[in-house]
Structures are given as C-alpha cells and as structure tokens.
Structure 1
Amino acid sequence: MGAGTEPDGSSRSDEEWERFLRESMAGASDAPKEPSARAREVAKRLRDEPGRGAEGWRTHTPARPKRRTGWYAAGLLAALVLLVVTFAPGRVVDLFAGDGPDSPPSAAETARPTKAPPAEAALRPTKDEPFRGSPAEGWASGAAGITVPEARAVGWMSAAEVEQALARSRDFLVASGVESGVLRGERPENAIALINPQQKDMQALLSTAFQSPSEKNDPLLLFSRFQPSRTHLVGDVVKTRGRLEYREGERGALQVTADVTFVYPVTRAGGDDDEIVRTIVRRELVLSWDDPDKVLTAPGTFSMISYKSHMTNAGCGATTGYFDPPFGSDRQADAAGTEIDPYDRTAPVGQGGSAGDECGKATRS
C-alpha cells in the first residue's frame, strides 16, 4: 500500500495532505499549550506576593476535616455514666440528691446501707414543708418506703404464698405505724388482726397495753400513737425507709425480718407558734409465718419472734402509751438519753450506737 492511499485503495488530494501536515506541526487541538507571555507574567507576580508561599496560581489545598473530638468525648462520658448507674445506683442518687422539694427521691433500700445519709442544710421545717432540712425529705411515704423482695418458695410455702406473706408483713407495718386513726390514738385493730391469736405472750401485752400501759406492756413498742389533746401531726404524710428480708426459720416456717424507720412531723396542740418537731422511730421486728400443721396458729397470721425499737423526740418521761414530743425549753430537758443519729441505718437496732428499746437523744432531726 503506497503513501496517501486509503484502506480501500483511494488516494488523498494534495489539499488534504497539506491540511494534515499543518495540524501535525501545530499539535492536536486538545494538547496542552505553552502559556502566553502575559500568563507567565501573572503567574510570576502571584508567586512573588507575600503569604502565597510556593503555591501555584492554579493550585488548591483542600481544608482538613475537623476532628470530632466533642462527639467522642460525649460518647465516652455517657458510657462511664451508664456503668456507674448500672453498678452503683446508690452513689448516683447520693450525688444528685438535693435539699429542695423537687429533688429526686432516694433509691429504694434493698440491703443494709454502708453509710448514714449525708448531712443536710440546717433548714427549719414549715407546715408546708415539714420534712425540710432532713434526709426524710427525699424518702418515700407509707408503704412505698418499705422495700419488699422478690418471692421464692421457702419451707412449707410456695412462691405465691411467700409473696402473700410478705405483703401482709408490710401491711402490719403500715397498720401499726402509718394508719391515721392509729396515729391519733385509736386501737390498731387491723394490725392486731395479723398477730397469731394463739401466741400467749403477745396476747397478754395486747390485753393490757392500751388500758394500763407500763414499761413492760407499752403499746409504743409496736404501734405509733400520739395523744390528740397534746400533739397534732403536720399533714397526713409519714415518711418511711426500710426493707423486708426473709429466710427459712424453725420447722420450715417463713421468717421475715422488718427494719423500718418512720418520721412524724408534729406540732404542739393548741400552740400559737410554728415550732415543728420530728419524732423518729425505728423498729426491727422478726415475724414467723408458721406451718399450721406444726404450730398452733390462725390462717393468715404470724407469730412475733422479737421486736426492738429506738425513738427520738418521742418523750422520755413516764409511760403513757403515747409519744410525747418535747417542745421549746422541754427539748433541752428531754435530751438526756444516748446520742444517736436517727437516720443512720448502717447497724442493727441496739448496735453501732443505736439505742435499743430506749429513748435516745437525736443528733439531728
């Protein structure tokens, strides 16, 4: 095949060869061209300008992406908080608990605490805020403040029967220490109905305690009572904190231990001042729900194995069957008992400085 011949044998004209040669010498249309003299002058001036450095006039350095350290830090902090809440919820509550009425409530007590509640600001209670300035301000009230554990089968009782017995044990605590009529001095019929009528020593106490109270047969050992002619409760809320625990007792019985603190804000009946005193009572009871096939008992009742208590701001005079909170100058004369922190629940009643079955002087109320 000769030069200038197409694949089909045809030949190119002289004009076509001349155009081909011109385009070959000029270069392809899309080939890079050398910058003009003006372009070279502009590029030189831009390079020589201060702050431009060695960057070319058509170069571009993209901005580095910002590190999202804020998100990473927030995520790490959230993970740490979640771990603390999971494994130490009580510490979180202690950390954020405050003195105001809008403070979050204390976490339920599921085991004996390892430390007493922290000191509160010395704020005087008022009729609108009778628990102001005390740990009880963040406690639950009534039955809600008494923790009942999950039920399982024990001894002669199935899990369902244990659950019912635990509920009735808490009912006794509410009927004896929270029920409004009982607090005003009425006979605690609902609470008494839960005590085994065949338990002779308890029946002896109950038969005489309300008619002829004495140190041995004092209704205050089990029931909270105020004399309306001397003392009025402030509001209708009783703050409580405590728990129930249980295990298998003798002869396969369900043995329930109750440890509960009750806080009662009261004022002097007929008084013209606004002085409010908080009577604080802690009771530790051991109840036995016996197998009726082995122990003489009535269905739905328990036998009282033991009871202990300590009371502060409750009066330390003669036994009357009623709490007798001291007001004004009487508070100094009444403060002769053993000093105790009535909110410290770290030791059983009667141990660790807590007075058992006696009147005590409160280090705070």
Structure 2
Amino acid sequence: MPIAEDPEPRPSEEPKDGTDGKDPFADLVLDEEFVRAAAVKEQTGRTRMLAARWQHTPPVDPGGRRSVNDGPRPRQRFARRARPVDPWGNPRPRRGGRWRTPLFVVLTVALVLAALNVDGLRSWYSTRFGDGSGGTTAGTPVATVAPETGTPTAAPPAVDPKQPTVDRPWAGSPAEGWPTTVDVFGPEPGTITRIGVFGADQVAAQVDLVKRYLAAANLDPRTVAGGRPEAALAMLSPEGRATAEKALASPSRDQDPTGWFSRFDGRDAIPVGDTYRLQGRISVEGDGKRGVLVHTDFTFVYPLRPGPDAAKRATAPRPSGPARPTGSPAPGGGGVAKPVGLLTPAADVAGDTRTARTVVRRVDTFRFHDPAKFNVERDRLYFEQTASEVGNSECDVYDGWYHPQFDQFAALGGASSAPSGPPSDPYDRSQELRTDGVCGTVSRS
C-alpha cells in the first residue's frame, strides 16, 4: 500500500513562523548524555504512589531508622536490640522463638523435681561421677551399683588394688560405686501392705524411722567423727537409750558403743570427707503377735586418714583380752573385729597422704509391738536382735571407738593382738555374719 509522504515546501512559499522552514528537532539526538542533562525528571511509580498516600496520611518516624547525621548510636543496657520494623514503621514479629517455651517448661520441671529429692540427686551424682572427695580421677566414670533386692550369690568382683590416698580415698574399693544414702533402699512405699494391727501407712512410717536411725547412727559425719549421737539416741526406746548412754559413758567389752554407732577417735583416725558408702537391704514381716519386724543388713565403708597420734598408737602396747561374745546378744554387743594391713604402700606416695578404710557390717532387727498388748512408746525403736563385724579395727579393744591400721605405720612394729583366724572378704555379703569371736584378717578393705 503506497504511503503518502510529506511534500517538500515549494520554493515560492515562505514559512509563516519566521524560520527558514527547517525542522528544529531534526539534528536532536536522544542519547544518555541528553537524558542526564535534563532539568526535569519523571518520578517513579512507587514515588508517585507514596506521595499520593502521604498527602492524606503523613508518615510517622518509628525511631528505629538512623542516618549518618544522627551521631553515634547510644549504648543499650543488657545488649538489647531495637525491635525490627517494616518500611511503614510497623513492628515485625520475631522469628525462631517458639522452641523456647517448651524448653523453659522442661527445665522448670527438672529443677522442681531435683529440689524435692535433694538426697536422691546427690546419691545419683556421687555414684556416677564421684562424691567430690577424689573417688576417681577426672573424666573416669564410676560403675554404679544398684541397691540390693535380695541376698547376693557372690562377693563383688575384684578391682585394681590401688593405694588409697586423701585425694582418692575409694581407689581399689568395690564400694566406689555404692550408694551414699540409705533413702535409696527399699521396700518401696507402694509395695508395703498392712501387717498385723498396723496399716500400710503405719508400716511405711516404721520403715522410714529405721532408715533415719541407720543414717544418724552410721552416716552422720558428726557421729562418725566421734561426736555424741544425739539424733540416733532420740529415736531409741527409753530402755535402749539408757543402755546406749551407759555404754558411751563407760565403754566395756559387754557394752561397747561401736555395737550401736560407727565412731572413730580423731586422735588416731580422721574420716576423709563427710560422705560414706553403703550397700544392703531392708525387709518387713509380721512378728506373729500382730506386730511388725523390720530386718536390715547393711555394710558401711569409711575412708580414713591418720590422726596426730596414729604413729604413737602403732608402737604402743595393746592389752589382750578375751574374745568378743558370740551369738546375738542385746544391742551393743556381738560381732568380731578384724585388723587389716594388706595394701602394699606405694613408694611414690607420701606417708601422710595414704589412707585406709574400715568396713562395718550390721545386721539388725527392729520390732514394733502391738500397742494393745505391750507397753511401748510410739515412734521409738526397740531392738529385737543385733550383731556386727568390723574389718580393719584392732581386736580386743573396747574403748568405744574403731581403731584402723594404716600401712605407713605397720613397719614401726606394735604389740597389738596378732590375728589368728582365716582371712575373709568384708565386701562379701553372700556369707552369713561371723559371730565366732575369732580375730581374723581381711583380703581387702
């Protein structure tokens, strides 16, 4: 299709606008230099949109944006960050914080449970990571030994026989992983039933009373260090307390306080730390007269360091006396003492850092009588039967204390009673308690 072109002006015609008839934009080039040199520039679409909006709703400065003219940013307390905002000044929601609420709930529950069972938490920690008294070297796990649920069938396995020291008092002992509190031992409260005239709650309270007595008589640091066992005495029956106080005041072969309480004379043996280890079991049954019998069988282990008079005592003559009585006498008697000095002293360990251990096993039966048939006091303990034996304590000494032997003083030579019985393992709880009165030795301590 032909295109009509603009005809050129005729030579005879003069332009009416006063020009020579030439197009003024014919030589104009719209390049980049021309665009940059323009005096008026076209606004972007977003600029025109915001300008139209701000005519009706002026913008508000949220205070979160800063410019180079604002000066240095002021320091904020506790490193708080300004809350982020969008271009219109609206605060943006924080992200990634949804996981914090469940974590805080779990931590709060854990802290509450730990606070309700501080003793259990301490026992759990000490049996897995040591008790803070140097039981294991740093980073070495301790094999945890659970409480007994019945009579063991064999002795604990042998461990590396290392010389115990003040920093590592449990080295070479099977008790290193044993519990440190009597509270972890059964029977569980939910398994206790009615026995005789006592309901389940009453029997559970009787078991708890027995546990508290065992702790006060054998685990209280003040009692073990030689203090007067006031807490344990307060739980005994009037007759039992009178007998125990008489034994404390005037120890003798027939009434030795160590038959009741674990005690050491600080002049020749000082406990290392205030945490000791134990293993055993508790059982409950009827007495046949509508009462309750609570049976306990526990082995307590005590780490000790020499006292200021330990060397003097090692060379002092010892009185020899008759053997301890046999059978199961009244509380405070019975059992057998066993001196021990079998650990080979290490050549590179100073004598004042070596320690020893004394192992005490107690087998007791507590009776709770029917109050309708017997004149008894409530919440007091009455012994039905008791017996004990000790590993690493001098024989035929009845002064109310345990006297362990330390290897670093064995070479000094003393006149103590020579052991005559066969060696035995004080950690072997599969055997019955010895009550023959023979002064023997032990295979380990």
Task: Look up the equivalent residue of 1:174 and give its one-letter code.
Answer: A
Q: Where does residue 419 of structure 2 map in the other structure?
A: 336
1:66-215, aligned counterparts within 5 Å?
101-144=140-183, 146-149=185-188, 150-197=191-238, 199=239, 202-203=240-241, 205-215=243-253
1:162, CA displacement in angstroms? 0.8
- Secondary structure of the residue aligned to 1:362 is coil
1:304 has 2:370 as partner = no
- Secondary structure of the residue aligned to 1:141 is coil
1:349 has 2:428 as partner = no
Question: What is the rounded CA distance, in whole Å, between the counterparts of 2:437 and 2:186 in structure 1?
Answer: 24
Report the number of matched residues: 260
The TM-score, its normalising length taken from structure 2, stands at 0.55
Aligned-pair identity in percent equals 31
1:183-262, aligned counterparts within 5 Å?
183-197=224-238, 199=239, 202-203=240-241, 205-262=243-300
Question: What is the rounded CA distance, in whole Å, between the counterparts of 2:432 and 2:401 in structure 1?
Answer: 24
Question: What is the rounded CA distance, in whole Å, between the counterparts of 1:358 and 1:301 in structure 2?
Answer: 34
Check conservation: 1:326, 1:334, Cα contact below 8 A: no
- Which of 363, 368, 375 lines up with 1:289 in the alignment? 368
Question: What is the rounded CA distance, in whole Å, between the counterparts of 2:420 and 2:251 in structure 1?
Answer: 21
Task: Look up the equivalent residue of 1:362 and give its one-letter code.
Answer: V
Q: CA offsets per residue over residues 226-250 of structure 1, 9 Å max, x none?
A: 1112211111111100111110004
1:331, CA displacement in angstroms? 8.9
1:128, CA displacement in angstroms? 2.1
- Secondary structure of the residue aligned to 1:244 is strand
- Secondary structure of the residue aligned to 2:206 is helix
Question: What is the rounded CA distance, in whole Å, between the counterparts of 2:207 and 2:276 in structure 1?
Answer: 21
**How has the CA–CA distance of structure 1 residues 134 and 113 changed in structure 2, closer, same or farther, with 3 Å as cutoff?**
same
1:130, CA displacement in angstroms? 0.7
Residue ranges of structure 2 left out of the alignment (5+ in a row): 1-135, 311-350
- Secondary structure of the residue aligned to 1:252 is coil
Question: What is the rounded CA distance, in whole Å, between the counterparts of 1:189 and 1:357 in structure 2?
Answer: 30
**How has the CA–CA distance of structure 1 residues 164 and 142 changed in structure 2, closer, same or farther, with 3 Å as cutoff?**
same
**How has the CA–CA distance of structure 1 residues 358 and 304 changed in structure 2, closer, same or farther, with 3 Å as cutoff?**
farther
Q: Where does residue 49 of structure 1 map in the other structure?
A: none
Check conservation: 1:312, 1:359, Cα contact below 8 A: no
Q: Where does residue 56 of structure 1 map in the other structure?
A: none
Task: Look up the equivalent residue of 1:343 and give its one-letter code.
Answer: Y
1:297, CA displacement in angstroms? 1.1
Task: Look up the equivalent residue of 1:186 and give its one-letter code.
Answer: G
Q: CA offsets per residue over residues 12-48 of structure 1, 9 Å max, x none?
A: xxxxxxxxxxxxxxxxxxxxxxxxxxxxxxxxxxxxx
Task: Look up the equivalent residue of 1:342 and give its one-letter code.
Answer: P
Question: What is the rounded CA distance, in whole Å, between the counterparts of 2:389 and 2:143 in structure 1?
Answer: 28
Task: Look up the equivalent residue of 1:164 and give its one-letter code.
Answer: A
- Secondary structure of the residue aligned to 1:340 is coil
- Which of 305, 310, 318 lines up with 2:397 in the alignment? 318
Question: What is the rounded CA distance, in whole Å, between the counterparts of 2:430 and 2:376 in structure 1?
Answer: 34
Question: What is the rounded CA distance, in whole Å, between the counterparts of 2:305 and 2:362 in structure 1?
Answer: 23
Which stretch of the first structure deviates more once superposed, 332-341 or 176-185? 332-341
Task: Look up the equivalent residue of 2:237 and give its one-letter code.
Answer: N
- Secondary structure of the residue aligned to 2:389 is strand
Question: What is the rounded CA distance, in whole Å, between the counterparts of 2:262 and 2:290 in structure 1?
Answer: 32
Q: CA offsets per residue over residues 294-351 of structure 1, 9 Å max, x none?
A: 111111012101111110112214211001111221699566053221000002312x
1:279, CA displacement in angstroms? 0.5
1:362, CA displacement in angstroms? 1.3
Task: Look up the equivalent residue of 2:429 and give its one-letter code.
Answer: R
1:276, CA displacement in angstroms? 0.8
Relative to its length, the structure with more strand (as a share) is 1
Task: Look up the equivalent residue of 1:235 and give its one-letter code.
Answer: G
1:124, CA displacement in angstroms? 1.4
Check conservation: 1:194, 1:300, Cα contact below 8 A: yes
Task: Look up the equivalent residue of 1:141 and give its one-letter code.
Answer: T
Question: What is the rounded CA distance, in whole Å, between the counterparts of 1:269 and 1:342 in structure 2?
Answer: 24
The TM-score, its normalising length taken from structure 1, stands at 0.67
**How has the CA–CA distance of structure 1 residues 175 and 357 changed in structure 2, closer, same or farther, with 3 Å as cutoff?**
farther
Q: CA offsets per residue over residues 93-123 of structure 1, 9 Å max, x none?
A: xxxxxx8751231122111101110111111
Check conservation: 2:146, 2:179, Cα contact below 8 A: no
Question: What is the rounded CA distance, in whole Å, between the counterparts of 2:183 and 2:415 in structure 1?
Answer: 34
- Secondary structure of the residue aligned to 2:289 is helix
Question: What is the rounded CA distance, in whole Å, between the counterparts of 2:206 and 2:158 in structure 1?
Answer: 36
Check conservation: 1:139, 1:241, Cα contact below 8 A: yes
Question: What is the rounded CA distance, in whole Å, between the counterparts of 1:332 and 1:133 in structure 2?
Answer: 28
Question: What is the rounded CA distance, in whole Å, between the counterparts of 1:241 and 1:321 in structure 2?
Answer: 24
Residue ranges of structure 1 left out of the alignment (5+ in a row): 1-98
